[in-house]
Amino acid sequence: MINIADLELFHEGEIVNHVNSLMFEREAGTKGENRSINYIQKVLTQENIANKIETFKWSKTITILVRLMSIFLISLSVLFEALVFFKLFWLTIFIDLVLIVLIIIVIKDLFDVINVLLIGRRKKSKNLIVNIPALEKKPKRPLIIFSAHYDSKSENYSYNLKKYFFLVEGTLIFPFISTTLILSVWGVLTNFSDLYINDFYYTLIDKIIDFSYVSFGFLMISIIILLLNRDPSKSLGSIDNASGVSILIELAILLNKNPLEHIDVLFLWCGAEEWGLWGSKQFCLEHFNDLNQEYNLDESYNINIDMVGTDIGLINKTGILKKNNFNKNIVNVLEATANSLKIPLRKFDVTIEPRSDHISFRSFAKKAQKTLEVCCFLSNKDTKFIHSSRDTPNKCIPP
């Protein structure tokens, strides 16, 4: 059994060197992304590690749909008063229905990573794959999949501010749609049935008008806050996610020299993660069935490294009302190992699980009815830095 903390085997300084070497923009589908995957492949090749690159197509599906939702919500909050004034408020039923369809598509695309929905301009990115076989190649042996995305993302607004905006939008959209839909359907029915317009109907109109003013006000304030905090500078993507990429490079070098006895190890550097988990999604679409045939996925793991910054965070439980633990064994093993090596690992629970590549593996395992466990290293304390010029290499050294 090897000890990955042994400095003769595992050179921590090289990880920092890789982070510094990746200190440039790596937006998915750009020359920067190609430059970064070429760097990873060059290092692996120099270490005589067999690797292969797979190209896939992707698009900004989620971004396009969310922008459409925002436009329709703002339009509805403005148009509703005019439609009421001209007694055409029943027309809101069409805007409501479009919004409902958009919400369903967004939710489906967010939670159903198994099916691919391409909306908008198609772009190309790449995955880089390394497979290190066990010393004893027994049939249906376990598999450990290490994953990390190598693309970066620069945004004009901070990650936390955008989360605030989407929280406001999400809080407003459901009550607004439901009330305007009830009102518009009621208005239509009065023309084709014996349903009468009563005082409650007019009271409901007044309340919805008030709510539309409030909604519009909150949305405008949120947009103003975003505009006042605009930061056009570019992110170097050091925490998110040159850190994970660099750790995987050194792990691959280590395990290539010291393969495990009974377990295969697969390394996956994913492209276009920032735009919808495209790399891991496309990898699973292409290879998951084959992996299921060759390996015992019930005893296998996916360890996803997405952001190691000022601390080392590991997602434990997730859920809004009830916290669920999808990774009981692997998280406990990693925590025990970190404690024995005196590594400052911090487990934390989240209400809404961050979208990262481990979700793809869990979704495909669930479809195949396999108990493959997944986990994600993510320094959530550093979200205030990511996607901005503050995401720099000096923050990738935990105390």
- What are the residue boundaries of the structural domains of the chain, listed by start? 12-59+124-154+234-395, 64-107+159-228
- What average pLDDT values come out for the chain (399 residues) when binned by 10 residues? 49 87 94 97 98 96 83 72 69 77 80 83 97 94 98 80 70 72 70 60 69 70 69 85 96 95 98 95 97 97 95 89 77 91 90 91 95 94 89 84
The predicted pLDDT at position 7 comes to 43
The predicted pLDDT at position 1 comes to 45
Q: Are 185 and 93 in contact (CB under 8 A)?
A: yes
Q: Are 268 and 126 in contact (CB under 8 A)?
A: no
**pTM score of the predicted model:** 0.85
The backbone torsions φ and ψ at residue 329, rounded to the nearest 5 degrees and listed phi first, read -70, -50
The predicted pLDDT at position 228 comes to 67
Q: How far is CA 343 from CA 2, 146, 308, 397, in A?
A: 17, 19, 13, 12
The predicted pLDDT at position 89 comes to 67
The predicted pLDDT at position 99 comes to 76
Cα 279 → chain centroid: 11
Q: Which of 280, 26, 241, 324 is nearest to 145 (CA)?
A: 280
Fold assignment, 12-59+124-154+234-395: Aminopeptidase (3.40.630)
Please report how many Cα atoms fall inside a 13 Å half-sphere around the Cα of residue 80, on the Cβ side. Answer: 28
Pairwise CA distance, residues 185 & 89, whole Å: 10
H helix or E strand, kind and range, residue 346: strand 345-350
